[in-house]
Amino acid sequence: MRNLINFLIQYSVVILFLVLEVISFTLIVNNQDYQKSVFLSSSNSVISGMYEMSNSVVEFFKLRDANENLSEENTALKNEIISLRNQLSTLQPEKTDSLLFRIPPEMEYEFISAKVINNSTNKLQNYITLNKGLRDGIKVDMGVIGDEGVVGIIKTVSDKFSVVIPVLNDKIKINCKFKKNNYSGPLQWTGMDYRYAELKDIARHVEFSLGDSLITSGFTNTFPEGIPVGTIENFNIKESEAYYNIKVKLAVNFRTLSHVKVINYKNYNEQRILEKAAEE
Amino acid sequence: MLTVVQNILSFIILVLVQVLALNNIQFLGFINPYIYILFILSLPVKLPHWVTLLLAFVLGLTIDAFSNTMGMHAFATVLAAFSRNGIIKLFTSIEEGSNPVPSFYTFGVGAYIKYVVFMVLLHHTTLFLLEAFSFANIWLIIFKIILSSFVTILLILGIRSFNRK
């Protein structure tokens, strides 16, 4: 017994060291755990509050660009409204009772606008914090887009804030396809440059050229079809391989990201339950 | 008492500088200096070992909370703090009874630079390996470790060379 106590006293520092390292390591490994990550992450209100303060200073310098983008988007949207109105007036609206009981396809999606209050682009796993949360209707797994295209997917939500896994994180793959011929494959970030990502699983026989646009495929529940992802910057294929190596220039500039929209797909639950039931 | 207040202040300042400024530096695309380690580097040499470890853990966890990296910084910082005494003994000979704060003047220029280089390399290597959590992109990781360590070391030596006495 005395030997044991002596041993403990003699090696107390080493034991403390080991205990602390084990705690840290457990934290790293349990990173996926939702509750813990909300407790100690930038969804935490103190930390988010501080980021919001620092962001209010930085944002001032980005106002000009943001305004320009907004006005461009405004005009594009107005044009769209006019053309849609013209289309609508030529179509005779259907009026059956069954229509009232479902959400019509053109109203399946709703956008929640949010502001980026913390953002990084230089790590292997980057995250973005937004200033909207549960009480604004944001839920886990919703898609996030900017004015130019796809940004990422909501990972955790607290009452007032939410954290997004952006395209610039090697943990997520976004399914996208060529606009012109519908061949699809997963897009993943390489960890090198915040402007480029890699498109995989495009087979040798597919025809495409530099500058072709990529859009979301609509096969997942998070993004509707047709949101721009990027353009082909460069590609090559080795003699022995069946798949292309494609370098994609991302549509969104993550360094200057300040305002985003979160996509609320209203039929999400129904579709997911149906798909799960089919798998069982 | 004065040193305690000084150290609390430097803790807060270093965390704020790291989180609000340096985490947003994107020099050459993917260099991210982590100068908060300077707090551990500048603790008095004879501070009880367990205090150093606990301080390192709290410091690491604070940075973790701000950068969504659960436990990574805590792990790397505690490891660096644990190895600190060994590295100091390796490069310097401290007189009995004295309790200097590591700096160019107490360690000598050469010994202090070696001390900083070893500590920063140890910390950054652990941190970036943990961040990647695989050896798949090993050359990219090594490249990141070397460049980021270089910038951190330059910043720390720069800051310390302004501290007279």
Task: Give a yes or no: residue A213 inside a domain.
Answer: yes
Higher pLDDT, A56 or A140: A140
* Distance from C-alpha of B147 to C-alpha of B30, rounded to nearest angstrom: 9
Contact of B66 with B23, CB cutoff 8 Å: yes
As a whole-number percent, the residues of chain A with pLDDT over 90 amount to: 9
A67: its two tokens: 């305004």
Subunit contact A24:B57, Cβ cutoff 8 A: yes
Asked whether the predicted pLDDT for residue B133 surpasses 80, the reply is: no
Q: Give the residue-averaged pLDDT of B133-153.
A: 86
As a whole-number percent, the residues of chain B with pLDDT over 90 amount to: 30
Task: Give a yes or no: residue A37 inside a domain.
Answer: no
Range of the domain at A124: 45-88+97-167+257-279
Task: Express each pLDDT in A225-269 by its tens digit.
Answer: 888 889 999 888 888 888 888 999 998 888 888 888 888 887 788
A21 and A75 both lie in a single domain: no
Cross-chain CB nearest to A47 (options B24, B65, B131): B65
Contact of A173 with A201, CB cutoff 8 Å: no
Total count of domains within chain A: 3
Higher pLDDT, B53 or B71: B53
Cross-chain CB nearest to A191 (options B64, B75, B137): B137
Asked whether the predicted pLDDT for residue A221 surpasses 80, the reply is: no
Q: Which residues pair with A176 in a beta bridge?
A: A185, A216
End-to-end CA distance of chain B: 18
Task: Give a yes or no: residue A275 inside a domain.
Answer: yes
Q: Give the residue-averaged pLDDT of B78-95.
A: 87
A127: its two tokens: 């995250």
Q: How far is B94 from chain A (nearest CA, A)?
A: 21
DSSP-derived 3-state class of residue A162: strand
Cross-chain CB nearest to B71 (options A27, A121, A191): A27
A107 and A157 both lie in a single domain: yes
pLDDT at site B76: 93
Pick from B50, B29, B28, B59: nearest CA to B127: B59
Contacts of A124 in chain B (CB under 8 A): 131-132, 137
Task: Express each pLDDT in A3-53 by its tens digit.
Answer: 888 887 778 888 889 998 888 888 877 765 555 555 556 666 777 777 888
Task: Give a yes or no: residue A111 inside a domain.
Answer: yes
Mean of all residue pLDDT scores within chain B: 86
Q: Pick the residue of A9, A18, A21, A192 with the most B CBs within 10 A to test the interface with B by mutation.
A: A21
Contacts of A36 in chain B (CB under 8 A): 70
A122 and A187 both lie in a single domain: no
Asked whether the predicted pLDDT for residue A148 surpasses 90, the reply is: no
* Distance from C-alpha of A92 to C-alpha of A94, rounded to nearest angstrom: 6
Q: Give the residue-averaged pLDDT of B5-16.
A: 89
A203 and A162 both lie in a single domain: no
DSSP-derived 3-state class of residue A154: strand
Distance of CA A263 to the CA centre of its chain: 10
Contact of B41 with B102, CB cutoff 8 Å: yes
Contact of B94 with B100, CB cutoff 8 Å: yes
Task: Give a yes or no: residue A38 inside a domain.
Answer: no
A161 and A205 both lie in a single domain: no
Asked whether the predicted pLDDT for residue A97 surpasses 50, the reply is: no
A270 and A210 both lie in a single domain: no
In chain B, what are the domain boundaries? Answer: 2-162
pTM of the predicted structure, to 2 decimals: 0.61
Task: Say which CATH number the domain at A145 has.
Answer: 2.40.10.340
A150 and A272 both lie in a single domain: yes
Q: Give the residue-averaged pLDDT of B58-62.
A: 91
pLDDT at site B59: 93
Task: Express each pLDDT in A117-128 by its tens digit.
Answer: 888 888 888 899
Instruction: Please report the ipTM that was assigned to this predicted complex.
Output: 0.80
Helix axes B2-16, B49-67, angle to 10 degrees: 30
- Say how many CB pairs under 8 Å bridge A and B: 96
Question: Could you write out the DSSP letters of every residue in A64-94?
Answer: HHHHHHHHHHHHHHHHHHHHHHHHHHHSPPP
Subunit contact B66:A42, Cβ cutoff 8 A: yes
Cross-chain CB nearest to B68 (options A20, A24, A41): A41
Subunit contact A24:B74, Cβ cutoff 8 A: yes
Contacts of B26 in chain A (CB under 8 A): 121-122, 194, 255
A212 and A236 both lie in a single domain: yes
Q: Which pLDDT band holds residue A107 (cuts at 50, 70, 90)?
A: low
pLDDT at site A65: 81
- Decide if domain B2-162 falls under CATH 1.10.1760: yes
Subunit contact B50:A21, Cβ cutoff 8 A: no
A55 and A192 both lie in a single domain: no
